[in-house]
Structure 1
Amino acid sequence: MSLHPFDPLVIRHTHRLPAPSGPAGQGDGAARQLDIALMSVGFKLSAGVLERLSALSEDTVAETATRTLDVVRQMVGDHVQHNTYFRDFPAGVPDTFDFWRECITDALLDGTSRAGAIEQLRTGLVDLLTLPSYGNYRHSYAEMLAAHDELTAAAGDRMTVLHLGGTSEEEVTALYLALAGSSTPLGEEGLRDLAALAAHCADGPQPEAVPVRENRAVVNAGRLAAGRDLLLDTVTDVLRLACALSDGDVTLVEPTRFRSLSRPVRRALLAGLDAVVAAAPGKLADVPAHREAFKRLGERLHPHEYPNRPHAAEVFAVARGEREARSLDSRVEELLGADDVTGAARLLAAAPGKLFRSLDRLLRLCRTDGERDAVVAAAGQAAPHVSGRVLLSVREHLHNRTGAPGGRRVFVNQRARAWVATDTRPPVPRPGIERLIAALDAETSRRLPEAGHLLIDPDVLDVALPLSGKSTAEGLGVLPRGSLTPVDGELLRFFVHWRQTEHDTDFDLSALMLDADYETVCWLSYTALTEVGGEHSGDITEAPEGASEFINLRLDAVRGDFIVPQVNIFSGESFEAVEESFFGFMTRDAEQAGRPFEPRTVRMKSELRGPGRVALPLAFLRGPDGGWRARWLHLYLAGSPYANRVEGNRVSVATLVRGVVERDYLTVRYLTGLMAGRGAATTLWDGVTVPDGPVTYIGLERPDGLHPDSVIVTPAHLRDLIPA
């Protein structure tokens, strides 16, 4: 048997195991052993997978088992050894000052560090990092494991089912089509996976459309390598493709250093530019928005060597300022400068997406009811030509504009860097907003497919719609920013793991507790190892072989109404420069023991790969009934170059958390409500009963036993809910 190289991608993205193939045999024993091994890390084989494996040879099952276990352990974060500074954590964590006093005593008893410690004591200030017993593991991973009992199994332990898929090639093709045809932008990892799949699938089935420009650039790179026709309809498509070929930023947010390109590639890019401009000269107006990038690209393409591509040469003439090509934006600004809001709306109608992104501003500039009616009418006429993602984004924006002015605005860029500013915008008249919202709801409802019988997991109703994959980190159990999900269990435990690349790197896991008014109550960190209801596992200050830190909380004892875990970079490499870094949380019942890290209790594990020096993955909110819920943030603060600590960013963190918590996000509840309004029969799933006939199932995990003709929508496929 030869396993497909992209099987791990399929398992990670879809939680399906491509149907194994190989010699027939008696593989039932080996299949059961695999199932048991998977359950130890919180996964399980479906009945269909067990049946398939049982009919294959033991060698085939063993090879499948090795690959599958490697993938799922990586998914949950169990591929590394999670040691703790305090061996018996969460038991045996000392008072902070007692611990520091012990470290100083150890330094005084150590002949090599005594003099330095005495000198520091004379000044009245001791640097913890200079103490030999501080910040480094004092026991082996095996010694730590020996200090902990086995985990007691509980009904609440996570169990993610791996379902049976089609053949490897069928699953790989389906994944490629899903990623390439996504109606929302993918995150960085999704784009990397799409790039690998695009090269492999260039000769196979292709999506009917690739609506997201960044995705199209990655697909075009694969098509170019395979000698296939390119998907181009703007000059910016060619620029994005050039960025993809140089391993640059296809979103065009960060500048790309273009590589030297081979002559065949240069010919292909210039031919693409030439064809786009020849078919629609007006598209030269897109060049000024990326003038510098086009100038740098021209230096690599040498357009003067291709006199038979005159229209391509015009692109670079515009970039150099030798030819004028007025952009739509400049013409709109001219009309608005003349107070002609109606004319601006009429002009923007030729670019429906731009019109929708300008609606707030246009409505604010309206001076008369007639102008407002003209803007609303233009939006209504353009709505059928706007992507579903933009429709929903504007719908969410307008809903949040109905509040009182003068509040705080939270800004989040494409790379999850967040900041806050006072909202100085004038209010938008409510009648205009209400009419637009009604029109957007009607257009969205019109586009939704006939769902038949909806079977809905109640826990998914408050999950935010993934209007952009850029707002979500990659990982297991990760949900879009703004999602709200219940938290079960009596113990909540956070973890962070990192491994430095070259330089000593110190990440610090902390948890900030806030009251109902977002004021600080207390925190847990290396400066506060214990607090009522919680413990910190101890500070690790470098990670050449990898390091982990944990925070343990007893939810019934937590002071405050919000728990905000955060990862601060105290020193060393950034989140993007380290070899590896990820964050997650576990939940347990109070009577469960086990190791500090138990993979089957992990509810979420996400990569930490954003900008800034402070990461805010999510926050936990106490509900009116006393229960806790998770609100997903996926935010990064700029922080300081050195010594970021929870004490130093309390105000900015609280402000950001407040902005996200108090914002209303469009959720699955909104779309399923529209589906029900169109006549879809709706059943809330009780977690047990599965209907006999086909359904459209929407939930956090796919149940076993659904009718084979059912449509399955889980978090990995939430983008499929966004209408085209």
Structure 2
Amino acid sequence: MVHRLEPLVVRHAHRLPCPAGPAGEGAVAARQFDAALISVGFKLSGELLTRLSGLPEGTVVDTAVRTLDTVREMVGDHVRHNVYFIDFPANVPDTYDFWTRCITEALADDATRESVLEQLSDGVVDLLTLPSYGRYQHSYTEMLGHHEELIAAAGDRMTVLHAGGDAGAEVTALYLALAGSSTPLGEDTLRDLEVLAEACVGGPQPSEIPVRENRAVINRARLRTGSEPLLDTVTDVLRLACAVSGGDVTLLEPTRFRGLSRPVRRALLAGLDSVVAAAPAKLADVHAHREEFKRLGERLHPHEYPQWPHAADVFAVARGEKKARSLDSLVEELLGAHDVTGAVGLLKSAPGKLFRALDRLLRMALTQEERFAVVAAAEEVAPQVAGRVLLSVREHLHNRAKETGERRVFVNRLGRAWVTEDTRQGVLPSFRLRLTTVLDAELRRRLPAPGHLLIDPAVLDVALPLSGKAVSSGLGVLPRGSLSTIDGELLRFFVYWKQKSRDTDYDLSALMLDNDYRTVSWLSYTNLAEVDGEHSGDITEAPDGASEFINVRLGAVRGTFIVPQVNLFSGEGFEEVEESFFGFMLREGEQQGRPFEARTVRMKSELRGPGRVALPLAFRRGEDGQWRAKWLHLYLKGSPAANRVEGNQVSVATLLRGIVEREQLTVRYLTGLMDAATTTLWDGEKVPDGPVTFIGLQRPDGLHPESRILTPENLRDLIPA
């Protein structure tokens, strides 16, 4: 059981639980393990290498096998990445010359000659009907024979695995960290929490579970083991019912409730009854998910349990048979009557809602007295508002200061993005300044004193992870809006997908834009080679998996932006395929190797979004000539089929402008509020001898054991509760 959960610890914490066992002579096996890890861009910390060296050889080998499988999958090296053009990036042909060659080969084939001649008579040839187009013409092994071994470079990625404790303790620590997160988890991480909750339900539990989705998956584990679920709202019960039915605990997608066993029905009804009995006003929460409660009622049969009358009231409200005014409806009534002061007084009972409505309230306020009432209420309830809400409002007010009249970009929790005109009135600068001062003071009060603060400068422009939603899981992935420096001469994108049941064609493309977001050029299957770089060739089906690559020479790019994208041309969507992921590599100018080399991978993220065009990130060349990545995590709706880079240039440019010109709150902002005894910018060399609070992209080796360590894997812990 513990071995099954070890990969979760490695993925989420970059820690390797140390196996138990007697002393042994495992030094040789440990060094071999380290060498194997280095080949895929990982390595053992000094402490971990020493620990493994003192264990029996067989124990080390077993640990190595399990761990290598995990890290290869983390970086995308668990599959075979073939290319259509066997010498890629060398000898990529001109697009039209290549198409002509495919037609010529089809004409020479007795099986396809007649069909191609008929198409030529109409003046249009469907490339997908040509036998040599879109399908690998050589094996993976043959492709490897055309490429030299990777030449190691100082800039190759090296991710360090650190020594963990006992496997059981590491699993428990990870469970407590995820379960007690103050920010929502991403979809993949939430699934991991489900697995951990099942294993840890009988052990230590977090003192608080602030995120309701986390509570739902933990409650399901508690229900299965006979423990009482943790419920304090009617929506908690609805989420638990969704979890038991294998549905969406975020309530974004409708759940088809299963037939529930009598013990589960009794637990859910008893939970509803106790919640409403303790606070009848919570019946008003039913309106937000009225249809879901009606369907749940059909499964729970509340009329069979007269001992829980308050539970029956929940379903009576859902059916419209019992009235329960919601806070939102009361507030809307007051605002409809232009009673801003009355609405503010009502919202003080729901501090989070008040803060989310601040902009609207200030815009609706017609007098100075009303505006002062809004700000005074915010000052009064600020200590009761969740930290991530305070930070979201602080970021919002910062960007409202621009007042440029530009379009607004909206991104929902699934990463779907859209643009609309900004028709809002401005917020008076004096009130905006007063609110930001209140927010800064409250956030500063909540942040723990870090003692000696040791900061890796590379992390300062990472956006604060206010939510894990719509941020793909993977290696080297940063929150939307983050900036990271790109060092290297060759930038290589890759996409891999494996279809589940029908032919699926994904097209990797890269759009180059100038400083005004106008198209300069692009690389795709319709434009295989440019002065900027090369495309590896179009693959149109993936029964055994398929890869496409784009190689970009950064010094030759004729523009300011590079926007890689994955277009769904036909077949299964990103959420339907068996597997799909995107990433990029960085290489030195003369660095040879295969098209895919794990140790040069800087980022690999899962493609699991609702649209048909994926925009993982963009690259921008600054005035200093330095390239930087801007993390997007966006999905465009796209067309039902045949999405191409040529068809979405305007929408991509519009979205990019909105994201680039919006300023996110970053680690730099939050560390600036910390009351540190000493602050040191880490130079990548020796670390201090004493305990520190380290914030960086990767944990250094040799930190004092009592240090607090914050890296992208647990940066959510930086967000105050």
| Rounded Cα–Cα distance in structure 1 between residues aligned with 2:492 and 2:579 | 20
Report deviation, 1:450.
0.7
| Rounded Cα–Cα distance in structure 2 between residues aligned with 1:508 and 1:165 | 41
| Rounded Cα–Cα distance in structure 2 between residues aligned with 1:448 and 1:48 | 31
| Rounded Cα–Cα distance in structure 1 between residues aligned with 2:383 and 2:98 | 65
Aligned to 1:683: 680
Equivalent position SS for 1:6: helix
Aligned to 2:128: 129
| Paired AA for residue 126 in structure 2 | D
Report deviation, 1:679.
4.0
Alignment of 1:59-458 (within 5 A): 59-458=58-457
Contact 1:27/1:55, CA 8 A, preserved across alignment: yes
Percent of counterpart pairs with the same letter?
74
Aligned to 2:25: 26
Report deviation, 1:406.
2.6
Aligned to 2:671: 672
| Paired AA for residue 370 in structure 1 | E
| Rounded Cα–Cα distance in structure 1 between residues aligned with 2:676 and 2:627 | 34
Report deviation, 1:123.
1.0
Matched, 1:721 2:718: yes
| Rounded Cα–Cα distance in structure 2 between residues aligned with 1:226 and 1:664 | 46
More deviation, 115-124/441-450: 115-124
| Rounded Cα–Cα distance in structure 1 between residues aligned with 2:63 and 2:481 | 37
| Paired AA for residue 711 in structure 1 | R
| Rounded Cα–Cα distance in structure 1 between residues aligned with 2:590 and 2:655 | 35
Report deviation, 1:559.
0.8
| Paired AA for residue 711 in structure 2 | T
| Paired AA for residue 343 in structure 1 | G
Contact 2:496/2:581, CA 8 A, preserved across alignment: yes
More deviation, 81-90/681-690: 681-690
CA RMSD of the aligned region, Å? 0.8
Report deviation, 1:334.
0.7
**1:56-100 CA-partner distances (Å, limit 9, x unpaired):** 111111100100000000000000000000000000100101101
**1:299-332 CA-partner distances (Å, limit 9, x unpaired):** 1111011000001010001001000000000000
Contact 2:453/2:676, CA 8 A, preserved across alignment: no
Contact 2:509/2:645, CA 8 A, preserved across alignment: yes
Equivalent position SS for 1:697: strand
* Residues paired across the two proteins, number: 721
Equivalent position SS for 2:147: coil
**1:520-547 CA-partner distances (Å, limit 9, x unpaired):** 0000000000011200000000000000
Contact 2:2/2:168, CA 8 A, preserved across alignment: no
| Rounded Cα–Cα distance in structure 2 between residues aligned with 1:274 and 1:257 | 23
**1:558-581 CA-partner distances (Å, limit 9, x unpaired):** 110000000000000000000000
Matched, 1:693 2:690: yes
**1:476-512 CA-partner distances (Å, limit 9, x unpaired):** 0000000000001110000000000000000000000
Aligned to 2:540: 541
Report deviation, 1:627.
1.1
Matched, 1:516 2:515: yes
Report deviation, 1:24.
2.4
Contact 2:24/2:54, CA 8 A, preserved across alignment: yes
| Rounded Cα–Cα distance in structure 2 between residues aligned with 1:584 and 1:15 | 19
| Paired AA for residue 155 in structure 1 | A
| Paired AA for residue 114 in structure 2 | A
**1:658-692 CA-partner distances (Å, limit 9, x unpaired):** 111100000000011001xx243111100112101
| Paired AA for residue 232 in structure 1 | L
Contact 1:455/1:698, CA 8 A, preserved across alignment: yes
Equivalent position SS for 2:602: strand
Aligned to 2:662: 663
| Rounded Cα–Cα distance in structure 2 between residues aligned with 1:591 and 1:475 | 28
| Rounded Cα–Cα distance in structure 2 between residues aligned with 1:590 and 1:712 | 35
| Rounded Cα–Cα distance in structure 2 between residues aligned with 1:179 and 1:115 | 61
Matched, 1:706 2:706: no
| Paired AA for residue 587 in structure 2 | R
| Rounded Cα–Cα distance in structure 1 between residues aligned with 2:150 and 2:637 | 39
**1:330-367 CA-partner distances (Å, limit 9, x unpaired):** 00011101110011011000000111111111011010
**1:112-135 CA-partner distances (Å, limit 9, x unpaired):** 111111111111111111111100
Equivalent position SS for 1:716: coil
Equivalent position SS for 2:418: strand
Alignment of 1:1-20 (within 5 A): 4-20=3-19
**1:133-164 CA-partner distances (Å, limit 9, x unpaired):** 10000010001001000111001000000000
Contact 1:405/1:426, CA 8 A, preserved across alignment: no
Equivalent position SS for 2:469: helix
**1:263-294 CA-partner distances (Å, limit 9, x unpaired):** 00110010100000000000001011111000
**1:584-630 CA-partner distances (Å, limit 9, x unpaired):** 00000011000000000000000000001000000000011111000
Contact 1:534/1:552, CA 8 A, preserved across alignment: yes
| Paired AA for residue 299 in structure 2 | R
Matched, 1:501 2:508: no
| Rounded Cα–Cα distance in structure 2 between residues aligned with 1:15 and 1:233 | 35
| Rounded Cα–Cα distance in structure 2 between residues aligned with 1:226 and 1:200 | 11
Aligned to 1:570: 569
Matched, 1:589 2:582: no
Contact 1:405/1:424, CA 8 A, preserved across alignment: no
Aligned to 1:639: 638
| Rounded Cα–Cα distance in structure 2 between residues aligned with 1:230 and 1:444 | 32
Report deviation, 1:417.
0.7
| Paired AA for residue 453 in structure 1 | H
Equivalent position SS for 1:469: coil
Contact 1:471/1:480, CA 8 A, preserved across alignment: no
Aligned to 1:610: 609
Contact 1:511/1:524, CA 8 A, preserved across alignment: yes
Equivalent position SS for 1:454: strand
Report deviation, 1:3.
5.6
| Paired AA for residue 683 in structure 1 | T
| Rounded Cα–Cα distance in structure 2 between residues aligned with 1:706 and 1:24 | 26
Equivalent position SS for 1:367: coil
| Rounded Cα–Cα distance in structure 2 between residues aligned with 1:193 and 1:546 | 25
| Paired AA for residue 174 in structure 1 | A
| Rounded Cα–Cα distance in structure 2 between residues aligned with 1:490 and 1:443 | 44
| Paired AA for residue 661 in structure 2 | E
| Rounded Cα–Cα distance in structure 1 between residues aligned with 2:125 and 2:246 | 46
| Rounded Cα–Cα distance in structure 2 between residues aligned with 1:51 and 1:403 | 55
**1:385-440 CA-partner distances (Å, limit 9, x unpaired):** 00001000111011111122531111111111111111111111111111101100
| Rounded Cα–Cα distance in structure 2 between residues aligned with 1:605 and 1:179 | 22
| Rounded Cα–Cα distance in structure 1 between residues aligned with 2:261 and 2:503 | 40
Change (3 A) 1:169 1:653: same
| Paired AA for residue 493 in structure 2 | F
| Paired AA for residue 655 in structure 2 | L
Aligned to 2:624: 625
Aligned to 2:481: 482
For normalisation by structure 1, the TM-score amounts to: 0.99
Change (3 A) 1:226 1:502: same
Contact 1:20/1:52, CA 8 A, preserved across alignment: no
